[in-house]
Every structure is written in C-alpha cells, then in structure tokens.
Structure 1
Amino acid sequence: MKKALLAAAAAAALGIALPAFAQNVAIVNGKPVPKTRVDMLATQLAKAGRPVSPEMQGQLKDEVIAREIFMQEAQKRGLDASDDYKAQMELARQTILIRELFADYQKANPVTDADVKAEYDRFVAANSGKEYRARHILVENEDQAKKIIADIKKGAKFEDIAKKQSKDPGSGANGGDLDWASASSYVPEFSQAMVKLGKGQMTQEPVKSQFGWHIIRVDDVRDAQLPKLDQVKPQIAQKLQQEKLAKFQQELREKAKIE
C-alpha cells in the first residue's frame, strides 16, 4: 500500500496520470510513446509471418522508441512539410487502402476445400493417361538422320551417337534421355511418332519438327504419375485465390465509369 502511494505521489509530481503512464512504453523528449505502437508493430510482423515471441517484446519497444526519436528529428527539420514527403504519404495511403480492400474481399470469398478438390479433379482429368520414357537424337538434315538409323540397325549404340551427334544439348549429354513425360509435353510431330512406338522400339524413319530431324526411341511406358491432392493442395488454393482476386479486380474496372 505504501509503495502504491509513493508511486502515485511520484506520478503526480511529474504531472502524469497513472492510467496514461501505464499505457506508454516511454516518454521521449517530453512526448509520450503509447504502447499501442508496439502492439501495431507486433501485429504487422505477425501478418508478415513473423510472430512476436515474448523475448522479442524488448526489441519491439526499442524499435518503437528509436522511431520516435528519428521522427522527432525529421519533424524538427521540417521534412514532414516537404512535397516529396506528402507525395510518398499519399502513395502509401493508396497502397495500404488497396491492400485492405483485397484482404477484405479474400476474407469474404475464401477458397474452399470443395473448390480445391474440383480444380484437382480437372487437373487429373487433363493429365491422366500414359507417360513415356523416351530418348531422341536431333540432327540438322534428313540424310544424316537416315544414316544414324542405319548405323543403329547395324549395332551402333543409340546413347553413344546421341552424345556425339545430337544437337540437343540438354538430352544429348545424357544419351538422348528425355526422362518421363506425357505426349503433350512435346511438339505434335514428335509426340505423334512417339505414341506409335512400343517399349524398346525406335522410329524407322526420321521425324521432322521445327527443331530439326529426330530419331526417337521409347524405353518405357507407364500410367501417368500424378501428385496426391494433399501434396499440391496449398499450390492449388493459392492459384484459385489469385484467380478470384484477378476476377474481382477486373469486375471493378469494368463497372467503373472512366471519362
């Protein structure tokens, strides 16, 4: 009780009401720095994915006090009256308000689990089917391609020729290996020829595309290996959220009367 009276007397001597004093983290050059600034900074950090631990409270307090010191100095120099400052403040105001608009829309129009599942099902339907483990040798002209086919039929190794003669730098160094991929991953001329081949078969005639002349061999075929829903759920949700927001923005533009 005695300590409380002494604290009250000290506060009165300083001209500070106890409730107001309790609400401030410091008084800088006679100006109170409210605790709400610490709370606001903590909230913004949390929104940015950096939750504030109890150990960080002291750092936040120091940061808020430092900002007050620097702001006071800037105001003393009249920088808050400059045109540049006013222009930047207006741009910041617009940015914050627009960000709040979009956040409010997303809160009111969340992406549901049903939305994600429907999008995943569409993805599966579009990408199901076969995948091919193919190799190819890419050369500049038909005659060169025909000679390579003849050499392979005589016993030359496909992989060795790919390493030496293929002009596709990505696969050539790996013996022409294109890894697993669906037929839709390739240009039409290539995929049409590839899907006609069985496991272990090679094209008997060169295949022409915009890149040159191909000799194609299929090493293996399997059913498409697609990721499970749980593996891609965050990416799908983010994609749908972006699409919803883009549609909202477009609707606002279309409704606006611009003269």
Structure 2
Amino acid sequence: MRNWLKSVGIVVALGGASVAAIAQGNNNAVLLQGPATAIYESDVLNDAKRMPEEMRSSFLAKPESVAQMVEALYVRRAIAETARSSGLADQPEIAAAIKIATDKILSDAYLQKFNAEHKPDNKLAEAQAKAAYAAKKETFKAPEQVHIAHILVMNQEDDAAAKAKAEKLLAEAQAGADFAQLAKDNSSDASSAVKGGDLGLVSHGRMVPEFEAAAFALEKPNQLSPVIKSQFGYHIIKLFEKKPARTMSFEEVRPELEKQYVQQSLQTARQGEVERVLKAASWNRANMEAFSARFADKK
C-alpha cells in the first residue's frame, strides 16, 4: 500500500503537463487530468469494449459522447483513489473482492490468449468440416422455403374499410405499381414495411395457417396472392422465389461446420488446461465441511 501511495505522490509532484507529456509519449494521451489521477485514451478504448463492436466507432466519433464517458470514468477513478488513500483497500472483504475481480480480468485475458494459440489451422478446420459433411450429408436438409414480401392492413375497428383498402392496394400492385413502395407507404407491419415488405426466406411452421397456405400456393416470381385475412388483418403477398426441399451444399453449411469444429477443439484444449491446473491442487475436505457447517443452521 505504501509503495502505491508513494507513486501517486510522484505523479502529483510532476503536475498535469508532465503527466500529459508522458502519456502522449506513449501514444496514450490524457483526456481529463485531476490533481491525483487522470483518464487516458486507453481507458476510453477499454471501457468502450463493453459496447457491441458495430456501435463502437460511431460512439467514439462523437466528442460529446466521449466526454460523458470520460467524466464518468474520472469520477469513478478519483473516488477509488480516495478509497485507497483512506485504507479501504486493506479491509479484508474489500481486498478479497479486488482479488476476485483481478483474477477474473487476468484469467479472461489468459484464456483469450490461450484460444488464439490453440485455434485449429484453417486448412485443418476445412478438412474436418468436409469429413463431417461427407459422413452425414443426408442430414443437411433445407426445407421448402419461399422468399416473400407482404403488405398488412390491420382491421383495428372497421373491418370492411380495412378489406377495401387491401383490395385497392392489390389492384394498384396488379396494375404495375411498385410493391415495395406500396408496402413502405401503407403496411401496418412496421418492421417489414421499411424493407418494402420483404420477409426474407420463410419455411413451413413460421406463419399463421392462412398466411402460410397463401404464401406456399404461389408458384412464379412476382406472383401476387389475393387478399388474405388472418388474425392480424388483411395481407397481400408477393413471391420473389420458391425453393423446394433439398440437401444443402457443402459451401452452404461449411461456415457452421468449421465453427463447430473450432469450438469443440478449443473446448477440449481448455478442458485439458483446467485438468492440468486442478491436478496440482489438493482439497482440504475437513475445512470444506467445517465451512458449510457454519451455514447449516441458517437454512
């Protein structure tokens, strides 16, 4: 603890400008400097890893968003420094919690490194995937599917009006109006309306019976269904493509088979590492039983 406090004193003595210069020299610039601590670029980058990767860059590109994160990090770090200075870190319960948190961070980092070192070679993964496919090719079945779009008109209160609107939209589509635009402007299904009504590939059992029957009755690309009523309202369905049931090709299933092989290989390697670690340890059963006994009367 004394060594840590001594290092803090040196940082304070150096002053804000010196600390910033040191950080910049390491390509790790100071973003917010306080009297005894600071927040660096690396702090923000590490904290940002909690976000989904696809959101990270857009968040970090906004100075106001980064400022909020930096402020929150600084307040937490400054309070933590105060807690250390007051001796809280030396309290047994707090010290134990810090050790457990540190263990988790370090063990997670080690396992990430372990996985990278034990990940199977791409060629081996491909060969194993090919072998798995050849051994059970008949099990890789794709069911009959239709690629469809739809327009939904909900019958909230006036059923006749909803049906009449759907019939009008169908007539417009049959006359050559852009189906996607009609869906965007009129469909009550907001999630598909933004995509021009596109529902993607759909297989049996995923839709209400009336809708499913109408969708799979369509045969030719761009064919339109009549107005169909379901529990949700009135639908117009457009067929893009119909795919019969078939055996999927190796290339279709290759990514998943390779992923499964890599995961299984890593799991086996990790289990071996766990067994290696545990082999060097020994249980103290008497202490275990004594520990549990202290809680027996509190159940």
Q: TM-score, normalised by structure 2?
A: 0.39
Radius of gyration: which is bigger? 1
